[in-house]
Amino acid sequence: MPLRNKIRPSRPLRRPFPQSGSTAAKSPSPFAHSRASWGTARLALTAFFAVDGLLFAAWVVRIPDVRSQVHASHSALGLALLCVSAGAVATMPVVGRLCLRYGSRPVTVASLAVLALSVPLPAHTHSVTALGGVLLLFGAGYGGANVAMNSAAVEIVGELGRPVMPSFHAGYSLGGLLGAGVGGLLAGPLTAAQWLALAGLAGLAVTTTAGVALLRCPAARPVATTSAASSAPASPASSTGTARSAGRVLVLLLGLTALCTAYGEGAVADWTTLHLTDDVHAGARVAAAAYAAYALAMTTGRIGGTWLSMRLGQHRVMILGGLTAAAGMLLAALAPLVPLALAGFVLVGLGLANIFPLAIAQAGVIGGPQGVALASTLGYAGMLIGPPVIGFLADATSLPIALTTVSAAATVAAVLPLIARRR
């Protein structure tokens, strides 16, 4: 998720992957506001992350109903789902500039409002073309919200001087868990239109309440945006050029890691319920529960992400996470029994939990804001290509076989951090 707000420069080429027991937290600014004020801002922003996850999950658990309503094949649905990522990618650069001009917090509130208003729309479409159109709007709100929220989170992390970024992403996962769980319970009593309308109203209520609290909190002080290379100690021109080139390669490797991870996250979000209902013959509530189990596992992994990173080192967390996700996806895709498939999705959630956040954070350490932007753009490319690739492969072979590509991508995501560290 591109973060185009102002970010403090760091020392890029020195130990991009901290060793066990290390921490990259910055000391609080002498100009920082009171701890209570920043605590309020942190809670309010966490609420935004949570409602973002809730709204996305509310849509995901009703994809089978909407698919039946528009009579879409796997490939047609894949193209429609592609519009979510297309809308997000098209909107992110614009939202980044808006954050720089107006501040990330007002843009966060506006983006979440757009997202909440767009959630009910897919249930009122009756063709694949119409579904794709409303999903473009949904994706625009979703992508804009993620850029703005992460920009605001970077400010708060810098002012608090503590590595609290995982807690924001845990809030997103917790919201996804809540949306999937409640959506599954209400799959019978409520139609897709009723459930998505209810989710949209809840999103607007949280956006209003948390938005007032967030906007009343003191703004972060301006910070420098000096590039990583310019902040390094003076060196001969050739050495500086070599260092910059090495930094770009490392950021590229981390961006490809984010791409592979986002490919898996998008596939699980878009195809889990269909796989369980069509291939494993689970009911709608069980399928929704599977996504809830995946979200719970990811939430648990992110809550413990900072602790694990400090003790194992970030590169080990990423490598072990990728291998765990690869094994879990093979089990989830190929197991003929519902309990085994559920166990596989739990492993996928645990494995993927921290790879994307750590990859983006390390890209920022190495390349500053430009590094974050490049890695995030590549990450969303994974989300962009995932739905249609899975859809076309499912039509050509089968959905379980198509889902095994997530395992392959997770394996690549485990190998790339090791390559980056050795460079």
Q: Is residue 164 domain-shared with residue 191, that is, in the same domain? A: yes
The helix (H) or strand (E) run that includes residue 192 is helix 192-216
DSSP conformation class of 122: G
Q: Is residue 190 domain-shared with residue 109, that is, in the same domain? A: yes
Distance CA 150, CA 153 (A): 5
Q: What pLDDT, on the 0 to 100 scale, is given for residue 111?
A: 94
Distance CA 323, CA 64 (A): 30
Amino acid (1-letter code) at residue 368: G
Write down the pTM of the prediction: 0.73
Q: Is residue 72 domain-shared with residue 154, that is, in the same domain? A: yes
Q: What is the pLDDT of residues 279-318, one digit of tens each?
A: 988 888 888 888 778 878 888 999 988 788 878 887 888 9
Q: What pLDDT, on the 0 to 100 scale, is given for residue 26?
A: 43
Q: Is residue 269 domain-shared with residue 209, that is, in the same domain? A: no
Both tokens of residue 257? 């890691």
Distance CA 181, CA 75 (A): 28
Q: Which of 223-227, 299-303, 368-372, 403-407 has the lowest mean pLDDT?
A: 223-227
Please, what sign has the CA dihedral across residues 366, 368, 372, 378? negative
Q: What pLDDT, on the 0 to 100 scale, is given for residue 56?
A: 92
Q: At what angle do helices 338-352 and 284-303 cross, to 10 degrees?
A: 30
Q: Is residue 203 domain-shared with residue 143, that is, in the same domain? A: yes
Query: How many angstroms separate the Cα of 296 from the Cα of each of 139, 290, 321?
Result: 23, 10, 16
Q: Is residue 146 domain-shared with residue 281, that is, in the same domain? A: no
Q: At what angle do helices 237-278 and 35-60 cross, to 10 degrees?
A: 50
* Residue 30 CB neighbours (<10 A): 6
End-of-domain residue from the set 186, 220, 254: 220
Q: Is residue 306 domain-shared with residue 352, that is, in the same domain? A: yes
Q: Is residue 169 domain-shared with residue 262, that is, in the same domain? A: no
**Distance spanning both ends of the chain, measured CA to CA:** 25
* Residue 114 CB neighbours (<10 A): 17
Q: What pLDDT, on the 0 to 100 scale, is given for residue 95?
A: 81
- The average pLDDT across 156-173 equals 77
Instruction: Assess if residue 23 is contained within a domain.
Output: no
Distance CA 91, CA 342 (A): 34
The CATH number linked to 361 is: 1.20.1250.20
* Residue-level length of the chain: 423
Q: Is residue 268 domain-shared with residue 404, that is, in the same domain? A: yes
Query: How many angstroms separate the Cα of 198 from the Cα of each of 172, 195, 201, 247?
Result: 19, 5, 5, 47
Distance CA 177, CA 297 (A): 9
Q: Say which residues have a Cβ less than 8 Å from residue 371's Cβ, sequence separation at least 6.
A: 12, 228, 247, 251, 254, 363, 364, 365
Q: What is the pLDDT of residues 31-68, one digit of tens each?
A: 444 556 677 888 999 999 999 999 999 998 899 899 99
How many folded domains does the chain comprise?
A: 2
Distance CA 255, CA 247 (A): 12
Instruction: Assess if residue 6 is contained within a domain.
Output: no
End-of-domain residue from the set 220, 247, 278: 220
Percent with pLDDT over 90 in the chain: 37
* Parent domain of 376: 239-423
Instruction: Assess if residue 19 is contained within a domain.
Output: no
Instruction: Assess if residue 380 is contained within a domain.
Output: yes
Query: How many angstroms separate the Cα of 95 from the Cα of each of 4, 156, 200, 296, 389?
Result: 9, 19, 22, 30, 27
Distance CA 328, CA 300 (A): 16
Q: Are 242 and 387 in contact (CB under 8 A)?
A: no
Instruction: Assess if residue 105 is contained within a domain.
Output: yes
Q: Is residue 165 domain-shared with residue 214, that is, in the same domain? A: yes
Q: Which of 103-112, 208-217, 255-264, 365-374 has the lowest mean pLDDT?
A: 365-374
217: left (phi over 0), alpha (psi -120 to 50) or beta: beta
Q: Is the pLDDT of residue 236 over 60?
A: no
